[in-house]
Amino acid sequence: MVKGNRVALIGTGFVGSSYAFGLLNQGVADELIMIDLNEEKAKGDVLDLNHGKVFAQQSLNISFGTYEDCKDVDLVVICAGANQKPGETRLQLVEKNLKIFHSIVTQVVDSGFDGIFLVATNPVDVLTYAVWKYSGFPKERVIGSGTILDTARFRYLLGEYFQVAPQNVHGYIIGEHGDSELPVYSSVDVGGVAVLDMIKKHPQYTQEDLDDIFVNVRDAAYQIINSKGATYYGIAMGLVRITRAILHNENSILTVSALMEGQYGEDDVYIGVPAVINRSGVREVIELNLSDKEKEQFAHSANVLREILKPHF
């Protein structure tokens, strides 16, 4: 058995295999176990990735496995689940994926797994809540990818607009990873200068443009799906980023799906918020100072998620 940072990936579809590729390239973990109902697909990915190891900067031990192999891993990343079919409602998709997740989580916990769950499958906030309920794990050790990708898209588009590197744009998309999410423009800054001040001082920047940027962020997945059928590179890199923060005990602030227990006036819902991430999982949720409009939007987003959860829990 390889000692060190060990990850089990459940689901080797577009997102899962892209995550594995990112993990290999970035040298974040020491071992990756790939698990999928379609064993041949997972075994093919293992072979393909192993053939590229000679070009990787750091060795990653990659193998095919089963749920029993989750016993000694530090992190279980779930990318498995059904995709939305044409004509299928989001609620029908929820029903289908909850059944799949109940089976997955039960088998992982039965293996003796005692690490952290990281969930990527959509609707991610709902399914992360389900993993928390099904596993019986403490809330800190069940994390969803939340709005990490929405926030990355947001920073990228704002960087393009203001012509600065996205790393120098600081701001968050919070709420449901979906149609009810919101931009926290009240706290966005570019190199320390508040964006709302910038649009007051510089006539070339307008609130209308900022509103358009958010619409592009919110609807980005639809654009990509229309073009190529699915989104996977961006979210895979977001998952690698969360993995690094966990395994390397970074105490990094990332927008993930975390359980609300009074923060932002919300309870008993997993939702995208900035949180400090380290080896123990979610160390704490960061409470941004929201404007009145943002508070209303966030409450609406939390209610949307609770309504979806209500029939099931």
Closest CA to 156 of 165, 148, 147, 146: 165
The reply to whether 141 sits in an annotated binding site is no
The reply to whether 14 sits in an annotated binding site is yes
Per the CB < 8 A criterion, the answer to whether 147 and 175 are in contact is yes
The reply to whether 17 sits in an annotated binding site is no
* Alpha-carbon gap, residue 255 to 269, rounded angstroms: 15
Whether the bond between 123 and the residue before it is cis, its omega within 30 degrees of 0, is: yes
Helix or strand or coil: residue 268?
strand
The reply to whether 125 sits in an annotated binding site is yes
The reply to whether 42 sits in an annotated binding site is no
Closest CA to 218 of 275, 284, 147: 147
The reply to whether 90 sits in an annotated binding site is yes
DSSP per position, 235-265 = HHHHHHHHHHHHHTT--EEEEEEEEEESGGG
The reply to whether 255 sits in an annotated binding site is no
Helix, strand, coil % over all residues of the chain, rounded to 5: 50, 20, 30
| 248 catalytic residue (yes or no) | no
Residue whose structure tokens are 């001040």:
197
* Alpha-carbon gap, residue 76 to 19, rounded angstroms: 13
Residues 6+ apart with CB under 8 A from 166: 152, 155, 156, 158, 159
The reply to whether 222 sits in an annotated binding site is no
The reply to whether 218 sits in an annotated binding site is no
The reply to whether 268 sits in an annotated binding site is no
The reply to whether 108 sits in an annotated binding site is no
The reply to whether 106 sits in an annotated binding site is no
The reply to whether 300 sits in an annotated binding site is no
Q: How far apart are the first and last CA of the chain?
A: 38
> Phi, psi at residue 278, to the nearest 5°?
-145, -165
The reply to whether 155 sits in an annotated binding site is yes
From 51, 102, 177, 300, the catalytic residue: 177
The reply to whether 151 sits in an annotated binding site is yes
Which residue ranges make up the annotated binding site for substrate? 84, 90, 122-125, 150-153, 231
Which residue ranges make up the annotated binding site? 11-16, 36, 41, 67, 81-82, 84, 90, 97, 103, 120-125, 145, 150-153, 155, 170, 231
- Cite the active site residues: 177
Which residue ranges make up the annotated binding site for beta-D-fructose 1,6-bisphosphate? 155, 170
